[in-house]
């Protein structure tokens, strides 16, 4: 419904996705899928409306200091606690690693909501916006590694973050 006005004004759409739209993290399949989908929608829309002068950009933040992170951690640990003994043996470490990684990021490199909002405003004010903006220290670090490290090296790094503790200890 808004597209005719966007075409006429050669306006723009800015979608806030997540670094979860660029790489999948264990324990968050629905969230990750939704962010990959939003990245895909933005890519398709960008190509469909480029001829009309409409700009489509995505902003990909990493961790943001909001209650959502604590809720995700609490949910992950509740789900771990609901696993059967066999499931805990197989998957419990993933839930624990997610909680650890999320808490560490939340307490150290996560951005504030105001910092991400400033990126949104900057993109809206930019005359010729880029297709993608990686926002925040944690996002820049992770996406930087994703874009520069060989895929197997990046996968190994993520795998080590989520490996069973005894697997990590044996490798060291």
The active-site residue, picked from 31, 91, 95, 133, is 31
Query: DSSP for 145-172?
Result: HHHHS-HHHHHHHHHHHTS-HHHHHHH-
Other Cβ atoms less than 10 A from the Cβ of 172: the count is 5
Decide if 31 is catalytic. Answer: yes
Under DSSP, the state recorded for 111 is: B
Q: CB neighbours of 59 closer than 8 A, spacing ≥ 6?
A: 14, 15, 16, 17, 116, 119, 120, 123, 132, 133, 135
The dihedral over CA atoms of 14, 20, 23, 27, expressed in degrees to the nearest 10, equals -160
Confirm if 131 and 46 have CB atoms less than 8 A apart. Answer: yes
Rounded to the nearest 10 degrees, the angle between the axes of helix 137-148 and helix 151-161 is: 130
Supply the residues annotated as catalytic. 31
């Amino acid at each position: 419904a808004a597209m005719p006005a966007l075409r006429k004004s050669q306006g723009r759409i800015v979608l806030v996705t997540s670094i979860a739209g660029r790489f999948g993290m264990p324990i968050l399949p629905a969230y990750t899928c939704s962010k990959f989908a939003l990245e895909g929608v933005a890519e398709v829309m960008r190509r469909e409306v480029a001829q009309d002068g409409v700009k489509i950009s995505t902003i990909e933040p990493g961790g943001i200091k909001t209650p959502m992170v604590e809720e995700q951690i609490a949910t992950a640990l509740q789900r771990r606690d609901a696993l059967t003994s066999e499931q805990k043996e197989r998957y419990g470490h993933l839930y624990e690693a997610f909680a650890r990684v999320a808490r560490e990021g939340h307490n150290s490199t996560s951005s504030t909501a105001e910092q991400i909002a400033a990126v949104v405003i900057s993109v809206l004010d930019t005359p010729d916006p880029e297709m993608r903006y990686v926002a925040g220290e944690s996002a820049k670090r992770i996406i930087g590694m994703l874009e520069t490290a060989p895929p197997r090296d990046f996968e190994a790094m993520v795998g080590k973050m989520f490996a069973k503790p005894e697997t990590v200890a044996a490798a060291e």
